């Protein structure tokens, strides 16, 4: 036996000692079979004697970035000896320790995504410390990607990294959307909330806000919850800056989802915009998922200063690291000050984001525990006030503040050796928000007016308003959100296939503890209020729970490979009163993605890789607090209006009705999606194209309901105003009963949103001779917006016939709808010259056409409601009735013609230059030149020249 | 010798210059057009004879007015300088109605007629003028007042309706209507009924049984937005407690003075346009209200063009036949004026408060009919030529404001 071992050693060492390394490699490859036999023999015989002869060594290897010299985490290290093969990963400090390995020759391979793989053959004879420096691929291949990349994963996803963001020079998250297929550069708007619309043409109608409400933003694994936002103002809308629109309506985010203005980009490492079918791990969304990963790890002091015509932005941040304690700390602070109109200093927007993020790792032989914690503050202040120098001293002003504090913790426990349970992930977050709208408005009654002085249902005397007064409205919201998520990763082998399983649960709590709408009812924000002050504390919390399970498998089929991931998510709203249909209901979202990778096909020097992906899934979004618990609607009906010439004798008597505008039948919004995608890549050239189809039938919408309200009409003619000595006595007057038929708004599931289209992206390799890369992306979108619920209306406008408001209501089948289409492509030509540190890009953004067509409406109601609340079919003869004819709405047929806007093009230029690796100066000009084709609509020539002026800015980055 | 020639040259040059100047003048007067004006008789009339016709051509750039009455039947030949003209015609008409014949007045009007070339032919429709046997609008206070803080106060608007005849008239049943169309926005409203009817966005009727509210010759009545003392709300306003009628819509944002009868809202509620873009008529309803409400709706369509975009619109309102209308006044502002929104037979001009859109100086001003003469008994005769440009004094202090 001893002899045999020696012989084996002799065989093995012979080529190593006598031949070159390359010969060794080829020999090893050629003798793979013999090696296996030897290995077998080796196992057969005890290795005891072997161990006696060979030294045990300890090798420590460090993996670093060749440019920054920072350690690389997660570098894959393969150490292959004759008998042994070790596969290891570098830890957070780039370190790998090989304990007690036999001395001898090894083939070492170090690789990491984004870096060039290193392969070396080394001979270990003593304990050693080695360092490998990986060269980033981007530098090696001049592969600086400054556009969004299309992920090769299971579903259509745009990935935007730090480098792309740096080149784009954004002011807020909104600016990143330019990089999506179908995206186009837009000037930042900071005096209005910014809402995301994925994969659609877009419509300015709050009835389709489900698009943005149903897009989830997840920051470091924690979703941003906006369900308890109730920052809207009651009373008539207020305009302060002429031409700027309604102060609050523009900025309102209630039930509209995340305001992207409030997300700064400087602390973000990477953004994934999942347009397709996100995993069941994520829920309470309908449209898409935005995963934001913030910067973690060691870095220099980074700073950024950006200035453009609308805003100034400052950022400073750093990452600290202690290698011994395996602890990372990142801090960041940024500030934005924007003025939507540089000449108007009375309207502005400020944003502050501050963040401290810590990461600590504990590791032993069998476990790795990583704890991530972050403490964040983000705040924004909208301000608008009337310019005091113009006209009369005006006191109108509006401010809306938002301050959010959040603490998030997550624990990742990995089991290195366990066969079934691979990891456990727990995430928690608490956030407290302080929202405040303060509106001051000078109210001048334009004629004598009375208001109710009653917050309950019943008869009461109203009060005549003072001619002018200052109204103060406070909208105080204190949303508190809690989030808890626990999830496990498992691995099972079944029928020869490895299943990567994922299962977990999510719990969300949101409550608004604010004082709500606060104002003096005798000096209301406007005389014609249909609501009353309301405390938000009385609104129950919204709590939802979800469970999910997913299985991902990979099936090799010869040279083909099939990846399938499918799962299901179950969700329920927990804290809803039983009167609601949604109470106790569980909603199930099944989702599945499958990807088929064809074998590589060698064409010329390179291989063509082809993948086909299909996916389908269902998405459920629960209603928000504002939709579940809307304000009460008040109807104040005049029973006596007695405005005597003597002020003391005046009397107004009202019947007040207080109606809960709650729709107990409200259901969640459910979207069903499917998509097919194909992806080709050849020599760093990539092309991918996706067809998608989404059907959302139950989007939240302002629907109408009617009620018949009876009230008295006092006849004051029995009282002689000239002989009156006190307020008129109601008891002395006769009255007749009358009924008012009126509508009020409720939230229903009437909005239907059908999205379909094709998204495509081609990106070339960087041509070395000219250091230039070409990207063409774009999309064709077709979006249909309709209302599937019939609507109650009293005709086209408020009609008074013969002294009476129209005593009927019509029920109209098709109230609203449009079909919109657009096709755009962006061509981005970017050049990177590393020797000069110069980076520039030109983006040619073509909108080939956009079109819109209203769906034909029938103005004739299907039925009408009479004052007693009875419903009758609306017949042909009703069209000639003096009163009922007014329910028949006449539409101009030209309203339903298709309108197409022809081609327009903008060219944007961006340039960056590095100096001494520490400074970077960048500038951009959007619409450096543009072309807008003129066209005709209804014989009306529309000239679009001169509509656009360039938008430009510059920034300075300093890294110390 | 050479030196002596210079003054001669100079003289010749000056003469040539003068010559050319005078030639220019010749050329100018030479750019005259032989115009033939053809009058078209009102529709559906038989055996028409026109008499006492007089026409006035007003050149819009120079303001020069040329008048003539030398008609041959329905035609007039006249030489006019080239230009852009406002043409207005007045005259008498005799036509047969069944067995008898009727004597009446006619008028015709065209806002802007470009006359160029050696000869030109312009045809003009004649309209029957309404007889002056009923009330006329003496004053419209539509602008409201301004508060000390610079805000609008609108409750103090009013109409003053005058009895310009020699008989006692009854206010009962008199309709007052605001136009649907605006004088500052001319669109291709289809169908166009203006030659026959007035499109009304709001109609109110004076209550009464037919003889409840007699108005003596030379007397007037006031219809107020709110018949209250507006000084309580805006010290710069006026006391309208003495108004005869008020507009009231059953709602808490309107008030009802029990001492003043309310107008009946036949259609919509009267919200008087405070920038003065709409016109007003008073009329008598010869049929009952239900028949009117059932049969006189007016549905129209047009393309609204705003900021280069076009929006197809469809609307429904009521129409009042011109023959029911007893008086009309068109309101507009000079900077925005596009057309008058009544048939020229009702009113062929317009009056104003404010010269531009949303003119801040218009508040607290009204339009008021001019006084032709005052009789020995103190009865005023007001000017009514169915041309508000001539008949009204614009931007005057409201008669009820003190």
CATH, residue B62: 2.60.40
CA distances from B179 to A73, A797, B294, B304 (A): 78, 17, 19, 18
Of A641, A799, A938, the CB nearest to B255: A641
Place of tokens 């006595």: A729
Are B142 and B246 part of one and the same domain? yes
Confidence check: pLDDT of B166 > 80: yes
Chain B contact set for A643 (CB, 8 A): 226, 228, 255-258
Coil/strand/helix, residue B242: coil
CA distance A75 to A132: 10
Q: Which of B370, B365, B388, B320 is nearest to B183 (CA)?
A: B388
Q: Which of B128, B144, B169 is the last residue of a domain?
A: B128
Chain A contact set for B309 (CB, 8 A): 937, 940, 942
Chain B contact set for A528 (CB, 8 A): 253
Chain B contact set for A719 (CB, 8 A): 258
Q: Which of A859, A929, A932 is nearest to A890 (CA)?
A: A859
Are B121 and B142 part of one and the same domain? no
**B165 part of a folded domain:** yes
Chain A contact set for B259 (CB, 8 A): 644-645, 721-722
What is the token pair recorded at A157? 């996803």
Ramachandran assignment for A683, one of left (phi > 0), alpha (psi -120 to 50 degrees), beta (any other): left
**B21 part of a folded domain:** no
Of B233, B267, B316, the CB nearest to A800: B267
Cβ separation A645–B297 shorter than 8 A: no
Cβ separation A647–B232 shorter than 8 A: yes
Distance of CA B179 to the CA centre of its chain: 11
Cβ separation A468–B241 shorter than 8 A: no
Cβ separation B152–A444 shorter than 8 A: yes
Shortest distance between the Cα of B25 and any Cα of chain A, in A, equals 41
Instruction: Name the packing angle between helices A21-30 and A32-44 (round to 10°).
Output: 80
Shortest distance between the Cα of B42 and any Cα of chain A, in A, equals 31
Of A467, A722, A937, the CB nearest to B310: A937
Kindly report, residue by residue over A762-799, the tens digit of the pLDDT.
Answer: 999 888 788 899 999 999 999 999 998 899 988 888 88
Coil/strand/helix, residue B11: helix
CA distance A716 to A736: 12
Are B82 and B188 part of one and the same domain? no
Shortest distance between the Cα of A241 and any Cα of chain B, in A, equals 16
Contact B158, B226 (CB under 8 A): no
Sign (positive or negative) of CA dihedral B19, B21, B26, B31 = positive
Chain B contact set for A468 (CB, 8 A): 147, 149, 151
Helix (H) or strand (E) holding B136: strand B136-141
Shortest distance between the Cα of A937 and any Cα of chain B, in A, equals 7
Model pLDDT, residue A571: 96
**CATH architecture designation of domain A218-959:** Beta Barrel (2.40)
Chain A contact set for B313 (CB, 8 A): 892, 895
Give the residue with greater pLDDT, A497 vs A654: A654
Q: Can you give the residue range of the structural domain that contains B237?
A: 136-396
Kindly report, residue by residue over A548-603, the tens digit of the pLDDT.
Answer: 999 999 888 888 999 999 999 999 999 999 999 999 999 999 999 999 999 988 88
CA distance B279 to A633: 38
**B12 part of a folded domain:** no
Q: Which of B76, B110, B128 is the last residue of a domain?
A: B128
Distance of CA A820 to the CA centre of its chain: 22
Residue of B nearest to A655 (CA): B252
Chain B contact set for A943 (CB, 8 A): 308
Confidence check: pLDDT of B392 > 90: yes
Contact A396, A442 (CB under 8 A): yes
What is the token pair recorded at B378? 């103190």
Beta bridge partners of A595: A563, A613
Model pLDDT, residue B44: 64
Residue of B nearest to A895 (CA): B312
Are B105 and B141 part of one and the same domain? no
Residue of A nearest to B307 (CA): A942
- A461's CB contacts (< 8 A; 6+ apart) are A453, A651, A652, A653, A654
Max Cα-Cα span within chain A: 136
Are B118 and B143 part of one and the same domain? no
Contact A732, A718 (CB under 8 A): yes
Q: Which of B79, B103, B128 is the last residue of a domain?
A: B128
User: What is the rounded radius of gyration, in angstroms, for the C-alpha atoms of chain B?
Assistant: 26
Phi, psi of A448 (to 5 degrees): -60, 130
Q: Please return the burial class of A72, using the count of CB atoms within 10 Å of its CB with bins 0-12, 13-18 and 19+.
A: buried
- B196's CB contacts (< 8 A; 6+ apart) are B321, B322, B343
**CATH architecture designation of domain A2-140:** Sandwich (2.60)
Sign (positive or negative) of CA dihedral A532, A533, A534, A536 = positive
Q: Please return the burial class of A916, using the count of CB atoms within 10 Å of its CB with bins 0-12, 13-18 and 19+.
A: exposed
Phi, psi of B82 (to 5 degrees): -60, 145
Are B292 and B391 part of one and the same domain? yes
Are B111 and B156 part of one and the same domain? no
DSSP A917: T
Give the residue with greater pLDDT, A916 vs A920: A920
Shortest distance between the Cα of A430 and any Cα of chain B, in A, equals 47
Model pLDDT, residue B14: 55
Model pLDDT, residue A34: 53
Average pLDDT over chain A reads 87
Residue of A nearest to B224 (CA): A447
CA distances from B396 to B84, B220, B332, B367 (A): 30, 18, 15, 6
B99 touches chain A (CB under 8 A): no
Cβ separation A638–B252 shorter than 8 A: yes
Are B246 and B223 part of one and the same domain? yes
Confidence check: pLDDT of A204 > 80: yes
Cβ separation A716–B314 shorter than 8 A: no
B232 touches chain A (CB under 8 A): yes
Helix (H) or strand (E) holding A568: strand A560-573
Are B141 and B87 part of one and the same domain? no
Cβ separation A462–B252 shorter than 8 A: yes
Model pLDDT, residue B12: 60
Chain B contact set for A880 (CB, 8 A): 294
DSSP states of A585-603? --EEEEEEEEEEEPPPEEE
Mean pLDDT of B221-231: 95
Share of chain B above pLDDT 70, in %: 88
Cβ separation A468–B147 shorter than 8 A: yes
CA distance A647 to A887: 41
Q: Which of A745, A249, A235 is nearest to A533 (CA)?
A: A235
Of B268, B299, B303, the CB nearest to A938: B303
Are B54 and B86 part of one and the same domain? yes
Shortest distance between the Cα of A204 and any Cα of chain B, in A, equals 16
Strand order, beta sheet including B46-59: B65-68, B46-59, B83-97, B100-115, B127-128
Total structural domains in chain B?
2
Confidence check: pLDDT of A142 > 70: no
Interface with chain B: mutation pick from A204, A448, A655, A733, highest number of B CBs within 10 Å: A448
Cβ separation B257–A452 shorter than 8 A: no
Shortest distance between the Cα of A357 and any Cα of chain B, in A, equals 51
B67 touches chain A (CB under 8 A): no
What is the token pair recorded at A581? 């249909």
Kindly report, residue by residue over B231-274, the tens digit of the pLDDT.
Answer: 999 999 999 999 999 999 887 678 999 999 999 999 998 999 99
Cβ separation A719–B258 shorter than 8 A: yes
CA distance B121 to A12: 118
> What's the whole-model pTM score?
0.79
Model pLDDT, residue A461: 95
B294 touches chain A (CB under 8 A): yes
Lowest mean pLDDT among A143-157, A608-622, A740-754, B26-40: B26-40
Strands, E, within A790-884: which ranges? 791-793, 800-801, 804-805, 809-812, 817-833, 838-854, 863-865, 871-873
Model pLDDT, residue B29: 47
Cβ separation B259–A722 shorter than 8 A: yes
Chain B contact set for A856 (CB, 8 A): none
Confidence check: pLDDT of B62 > 90: no
Are B108 and B197 part of one and the same domain? no
Coil/strand/helix, residue A40: helix
Q: Which of A700, A711, A708 is nearest to A743 (CA)?
A: A708
CA distance A112 to A64: 11
Strand order, beta sheet including B119-125: B71-72, B75-81, B32-40, B119-125
What is the token pair recorded at B249? 């819509």
Cβ separation B249–A885 shorter than 8 A: no
CA distance A391 to B149: 9
Pairing of strands B46-59, B83-97: antiparallel
B44 touches chain A (CB under 8 A): no
Confidence check: pLDDT of B21 > 50: no
Place of tokens 């000869």: B119
Residue of B nearest to A884 (CA): B294
Contact A281, A487 (CB under 8 A): yes
CA distance A280 to A292: 18
CA distances from A776 to A180, A184, A689, A763 (A): 11, 13, 12, 6
Contact A108, A96 (CB under 8 A): no
Model pLDDT, residue A68: 67
B307 touches chain A (CB under 8 A): no
Chain A contact set for B314 (CB, 8 A): 889-892, 895
- A204's CB contacts (< 8 A; 6+ apart) are none
Confidence check: pLDDT of A24 > 60: no
DSSP states of B296-328? -EEEEEEEEEETTEEEEEEEEEEEEEGGGEEEE
CA distance B138 to B161: 5
Strands, E, within B60-130: which ranges? 65-68, 71-72, 75-81, 83-97, 100-115, 119-125, 127-128
**B155 part of a folded domain:** yes
CA distance A594 to A564: 4
CA distances from A402 to A376, A396, A516, B200, B319 (A): 14, 20, 14, 50, 54
Q: How many CB pairs under 8 A join A and B?
A: 158
Of A447, A644, A890, the CB nearest to B226: A447
Shortest distance between the Cα of B205 and any Cα of chain A, in A, equals 10
**B187 part of a folded domain:** yes
What is the token pair recorded at A614? 């299909």
Give the residue with greater pLDDT, B204 vs A121: B204
Kindly report, residue by residue over A860-893, the tens digit of the pLDDT.
Answer: 999 999 988 889 999 999 988 888 999 998 888 8
- B177's CB contacts (< 8 A; 6+ apart) are B198, B200, B202, B203, B204, B280, B281, B282, B283, B320
Are B101 and B160 part of one and the same domain? no
The residue extents of the domains of chain A are: 2-140, 218-959
pLDDT band at B145 (very low <50, low <70, confident <90, very high): very high
Cβ separation B308–A943 shorter than 8 A: yes
Q: Which of B382, B321, B360 is nearest to B130 (CA)?
A: B321
pLDDT band at A690 (very low <50, low <70, confident <90, very high): very high
Chain B, 143 to 162: residues with Cβ < 8 Å from chain A are 144, 147, 149-155
Coil/strand/helix, residue A725: coil
Chain A contact set for B301 (CB, 8 A): 890, 892, 894
What is the token pair recorded at B291? 């028949």
Q: Which of A821, A712, A828 is nearest to A773 (CA)?
A: A828
ipTM confidence: 0.75
Contact B122, B38 (CB under 8 A): yes
Shortest distance between the Cα of B232 and any Cα of chain A, in A, equals 8
């Amino acid at each position: 036996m001893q002899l045999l071992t020696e012989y084996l050693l002799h065989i093995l060492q012979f080529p190593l000692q006598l031949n070159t390394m390359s010969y060794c490699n080829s020999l090893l490859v050629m003798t793979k079979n013999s090696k296996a036999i030897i290995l077998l023999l080796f196992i057969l015989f005890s290795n005891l004697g072997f161990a006696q002869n060979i030294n045990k060594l300890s090798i420590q290897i460090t993996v670093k970035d060749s440019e920054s010299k920072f350690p690389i985490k997660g570098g894959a290290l393969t150490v292959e000896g004759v008998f042994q093969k070790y596969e290891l990963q570098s830890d957070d400090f780039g370190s790998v320790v090989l304990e007690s390995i036999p001395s001898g020759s090894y083939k070492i391979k170090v690789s990491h995504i984004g870096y060039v793989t290193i392969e070396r053959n080394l001979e270990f004879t003593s304990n050693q410390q080695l360092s490998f420096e990986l060269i980033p691929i981007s530098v090696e291949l001049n592969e600086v990607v400054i556009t969004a990349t299309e992920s090769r994963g299971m579903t259509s996803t745009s990935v935007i990294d730090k480098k792309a963001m740096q080149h784009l020079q954004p002011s807020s998250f909104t600016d990143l959307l330019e990089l999506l297929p179908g995206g186009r550069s837009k000037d930042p708007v900071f005096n209005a909330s910014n809402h995301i619309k994925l994969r659609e043409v877009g419509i300015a109608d709050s009835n389709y806000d489900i698009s943005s409400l149903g897009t989830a933003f997840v920051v470091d694994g924690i979703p941003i919850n906006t369900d308890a936002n109730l920052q809207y103002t009651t009373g008539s809308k207020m305009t302060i800056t002429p031409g700027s629109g309604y102060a609050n309506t523009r900025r309102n985010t209630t039930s509209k989802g995340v305001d992207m203005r409030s997300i700064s980009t400087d602390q973000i490492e990477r953004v994934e915009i999942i347009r397709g079918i996100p995993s069941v791990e994520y829920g309470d969304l309908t449209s898409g998922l935005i995963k934001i990963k913030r910067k973690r790890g060691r870095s220099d002091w980074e700073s950024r200063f950006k200035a453009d015509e609308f805003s100034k932005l400052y950022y400073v941040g750093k990452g600290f690291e202690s290698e011994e304690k395996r602890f990372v700390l990142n801090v960041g602070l940024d500030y934005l000050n924007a003025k939507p109109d540089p000449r108007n200093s009375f309207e502005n927007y400020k944003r502050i984001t501050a963040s401290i993020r810590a990461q600590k790792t504990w590791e032993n032989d069998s476990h790795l525990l990583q704890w991530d914690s972050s403490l964040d503050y983000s705040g924004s202040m909208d301000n608008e006030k009337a310019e005091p120098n113009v006209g009369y001293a005006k006191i109108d002003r509006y401010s809306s503040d938002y301050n959010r504090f959040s603490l998030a913790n997550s624990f990742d426990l990995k089991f290195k050796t366990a066969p079934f349970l691979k990891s456990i992930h727990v995430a928690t977050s608490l956030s407290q928000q302080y929202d405040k709208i303060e509106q001051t408005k000078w109210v001048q009654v334009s004629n004598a007016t009375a208001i109710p002085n009653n917050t309950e249902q019943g008869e009461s005397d109203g009060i005549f308003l003072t001619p002018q007064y200052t109204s103060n409205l406070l909208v105080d919201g204190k949303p508190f959100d809690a989030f808890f998520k626990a999830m496990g990763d498992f691995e099972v082998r079944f029928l020869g296939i490895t299943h990567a399983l994922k299962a977990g649960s999510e719990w969300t709590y949101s409550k608004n503890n604010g004082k709500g709408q606060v104002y003096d009812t005798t000096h209301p924000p406007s005389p014609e209020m249909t609501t009353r002050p309301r405390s938000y504390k009385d609104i129950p919390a919204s709590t939802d729970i979800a469970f999910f399970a997913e299985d991902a498998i990979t099936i090799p089929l010869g040279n083909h490979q099939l990846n399938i991931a499918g799962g299901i998510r179950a969700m329920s709203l927990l804290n809803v009163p039983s009167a609601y249909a949604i109470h106790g209901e569980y909603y199930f979202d099944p989702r599945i993605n499958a990807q088929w990778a064809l074998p590589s096909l060698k064409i010329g020097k390179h291989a063509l890789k082809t993948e086909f992906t299909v996916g389908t899934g269902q998405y459920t979004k629960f209603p928000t607090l504002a939709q579940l618990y809307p304000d009460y609607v008040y109807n104040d009906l005049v029973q006596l209006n007695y405005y005597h010439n003597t002020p003391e004798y005046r009397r107004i008597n009202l019947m007040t009705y207080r109606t809960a505008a709650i729709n107990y039948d409200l259901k969640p919004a459910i979207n069903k999606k499917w998509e097919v995608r194909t992806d080709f890549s050849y020599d760093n050239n990539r092309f991918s194209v996706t067809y998608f189809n989404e059907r959302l039938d139950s989007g939240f919408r302002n629907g109408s309901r009617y009620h018949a309200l009876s009230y008295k009409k006092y006849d004051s003619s029995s009282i002689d105003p000239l002989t009156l000595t006190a307020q008129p006595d109601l008891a002395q007057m006769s009255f007749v009963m009358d009924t008012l038929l009126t509508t009020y708004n409720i939230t229903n599931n009437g909005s239907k949103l059908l999205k379909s289209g094709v998204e495509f992206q081609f990106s070339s390799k960087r041509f070395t001779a000219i250091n230039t890369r070409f990207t063409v992306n774009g999309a064709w979108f077709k979006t249909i917006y309709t209302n599937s619920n019939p609507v109650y209306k009293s005709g086209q406008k408020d009609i008074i016939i013969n002294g009476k408001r129209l005593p009927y209501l019509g029920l109209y089948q098709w109230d609203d709808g449009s079909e919109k289409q657009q096709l755009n492509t962006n061509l981005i030509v970017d050049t990177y010259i590393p020797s000069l540190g110069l980076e520039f890009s030109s983006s040619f953004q073509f909108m080939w056409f956009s079109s819109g067509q209203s769906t034909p409406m029938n103005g004739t109601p299907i039925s009408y409601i009479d004052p007693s609340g009875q419903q009758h079919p609306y017949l042909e003869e009703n069209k000639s009735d003096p009163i009922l004819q007014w329910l028949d709405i006449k539409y101009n047929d030209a309203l339903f013609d298709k309108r197409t806007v022809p081609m327009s093009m903008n060219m944007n230029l961006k340039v960056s230059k590095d100096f001494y690796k520490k400074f970077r100066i960048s500038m951009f000009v959007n619409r450096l030149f543009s072309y807008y084709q003129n066209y005709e609509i209804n014989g009306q020539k529309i000239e679009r020249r001169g509509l656009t002026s360039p938008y430009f800015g510059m920034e300075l980055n300093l890294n110390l | 010798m050479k030196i002596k020639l210079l003054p001669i040259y100079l003289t010749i040059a000056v003469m040539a210059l003068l010559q050319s100047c005078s030639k220019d003048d010749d050329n100018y007067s030479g750019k005259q057009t032989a115009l033939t004006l053809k009058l078209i008789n009102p529709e559906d009339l038989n055996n028409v004879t026109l008499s006492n016709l007089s026409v006035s051509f007003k050149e819009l750039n120079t303001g020069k007015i040329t008048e003539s009455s030398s008609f041959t039947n329905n035609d007039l030949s006249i030489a006019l300088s080239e230009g852009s003209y406002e043409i207005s015609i007045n005259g008498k008409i005799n036509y047969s109605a069944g067995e008898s014949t009727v004597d009446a007045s006619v008028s015709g009007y065209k806002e802007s007629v470009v006359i160029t070339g050696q000869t030109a032919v312009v045809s003009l429709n004649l309209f029957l003028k309404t007889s002056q046997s009923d009330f006329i609008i003496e004053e419209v206070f539509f602008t409201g007042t301004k508060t000390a803080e610079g805000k609008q106060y609108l409750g103090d608007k009013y109409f003053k309706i005058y009895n310009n005849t020699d008989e006692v008239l009854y206010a009962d049943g008199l309709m007052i209507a605001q136009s649907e169309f605006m004088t500052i926005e001319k669109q291709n409203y289809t169908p166009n009924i203006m030659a026959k009817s007035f499109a009304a966005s709001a109609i109110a009727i004076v209550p009464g049984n037919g003889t409840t509210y007699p108005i003596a010759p030379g007397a007037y009545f006031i219809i107020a937005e709110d018949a209250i003392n507006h000084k309580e709300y805006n010290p710069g306003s006026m006391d309208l407690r003495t108004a005869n009628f008020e507009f009231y819509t059953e709602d808490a944002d309107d008030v009802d003075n029990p001492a003043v009868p309310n107008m009946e809202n036949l259609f919509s509620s009267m919200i008087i346009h405070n920038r003065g873009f709409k016109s007003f008529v008073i009329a008598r309803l010869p049929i009952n209200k239900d028949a009117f409400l059932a049969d006189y709706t007016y549905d129209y369509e047009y393309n609204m063009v705003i900021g280069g975009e076009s929006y197809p619109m469809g609307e429904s309102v009521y129409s009042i036949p011109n023959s029911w209308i007893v008086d009309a006044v068109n309101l507009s502002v000079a900077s925005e004026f596009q057309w008058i929104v009544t048939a020229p037979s009702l009113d062929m001009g317009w009056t104003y408060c404010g010269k531009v859109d949303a003119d801040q100086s218009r508040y607290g001003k009204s339009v008021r009919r001019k006084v032709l003469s005052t009789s020995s008994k103190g009865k005023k005769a007001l000017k009514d030529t169915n041309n508000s440009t001539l008949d009204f004094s614009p931007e005057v202090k409201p008669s009820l404001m003190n």
